[in-house]
Structure 1
Amino acid sequence: MSTTQNERLRELLEPLVSSQGLDLEEIEVASVGRKRVLRVVVDSDEGADLDAIADVSRALSAKLDDPDNSSVMGDGEYELEVGTPGAERPLTEHRHYIRATTRLVKFTLNDDSELVARILTVDDKGLDLEVPGVKGRKATARRLDFSDIAKARVQVEFNRKNKSDDIEEEEA
């Protein structure tokens, strides 16, 4: 049974990433001109800070440079890039929805309709959402089952109030 390069890389790297307290979200090998680039995307429930990224990057580099693992990337040079999913990440796993709790998300539903709402809670079957009100109307609650979601992507909010802002307003 043959395996793809991405499957071999995931098999080699996932235990190492997990040992660093992170989840291996994505692996991509791309050709950029004459160079090859191995992009590894990691994350955790608390997020991955720069120190964690640097630590896992060094560990992955050492693992890939080990002569016993030379067949995984093949001959030739490559560049290793380690990062996080970014602000507008697609939500594809249950853990992604949990991490996006309190965030505004754009959902594309199976019927091709779209919905922008804030995730309030996540359980095994779906999400409880707050749909923002339009033109002065109050926000409404909505339940969405995972089976109804075709795509979901976190939205960037420039004027998002933090929970600490709410506390300061109540104390004032």
Structure 2
Amino acid sequence: MAAPEHPAHAERVRQVVEPAVASVGLLLEDVAVRRSAGRSVVEVVVDLSEDDADGLDLDRIADATRAVSDALDAADTITGEYTLEVMSPGVSRPLTERRHFTHAVGHAVVVHLNDGALVSGRLTAVERSGADDGTIVVVPVTPGLKGRKPVIGDPVRVSLSEVRAAHVEVDLTGVGPVDDDEAGADADAGQES
């Protein structure tokens, strides 16, 4: 089991890493430093700014990795050998800031409100109403039963100040084992007679 480093050490690493991440046009979401198999492991989570429409692809992660590695080596913040892991936050991360919601537009979300209510459906918009606040628009979608079309509800507007917790709901419809009859037909179609 990997033991975490002292928090002050992680903060020193953050101070070195943050400008490097910013230099490639990304935001530093999180830094963790831990020990594993006798060496340090530096985990850096990067994200997009709210207005960044380019997406976070492997090329941008590679650019961030090079910049962070160079900065760590130059600052000599990590003693000895270390492993650097630069990654995106992933779909399972909680939506806690307006920029998180902005990049989740088009996805199914589950939103828990401060009053205990629950709103779920397709996030269709994030409206800005200040530096830190905003309003999200969620269109409730209830799956249709027994082959019926889903029921689309009226859009629900929620101020971000009313949100207690939220996350993207991963849609796994259509993912699963292939039906044997279909697989057999596809295999037969590919054979020459």
Q: TM above 0.5, one fold?
A: yes
Report the equivalent of 1:119. Answer: 123
TM-score normalised to the size of structure 1?
0.78
Question: Which ranges of 4 or more aligned residues in structure 1 deviate by more than 6 Å?
Answer: none
Q: CA separation in 2, counterparts of 1:138 and 1:52?
A: 37
- The structure whose residues are more often helix, as a share, is 1
Q: CA separation in 1, counterparts of 2:94 and 2:151?
A: 29
Mapping 1:4-83, distance limit 5 Å: 4-44=8-48, 45=52, 46-66=54-74, 69-70=75-76, 72-73=77-78, 75-83=79-87
Higher Rg: 2
User: Quick check: 78-87 or 136-145, which moved more?
Assistant: 136-145
State whether structure 2 residue 140 is matched by structure 1 residue 131: yes
Q: CA separation in 2, counterparts of 1:112 and 1:78?
A: 44
Q: What letter is aligned with 1:157?
A: D
1:134 Cα shift? Answer: 5.0
Unaligned runs of 5+ in 2: 1-6, 145-149, 175-193
Report the equivalent of 2:158. Answer: 144
Q: CA separation in 2, counterparts of 1:42 and 1:51?
A: 13
Question: What RMSD over aligned residues (CA atoms) do the two structures have, in Å?
Answer: 2.2
8 Å CA contact 2:120, 2:138 repeated in 1 = no
Question: Which digits, 9 at most, give the CA deviation of each residue in 1:50-86, with x for residues without a partner?
Answer: 12211221221111111xx22x33x233211001111
Unaligned runs of 5+ in 1: 161-172
TM-score normalised to the size of structure 2?
0.70
Q: Say how many residue pairs are matched.
A: 154
Name the % identity: 37
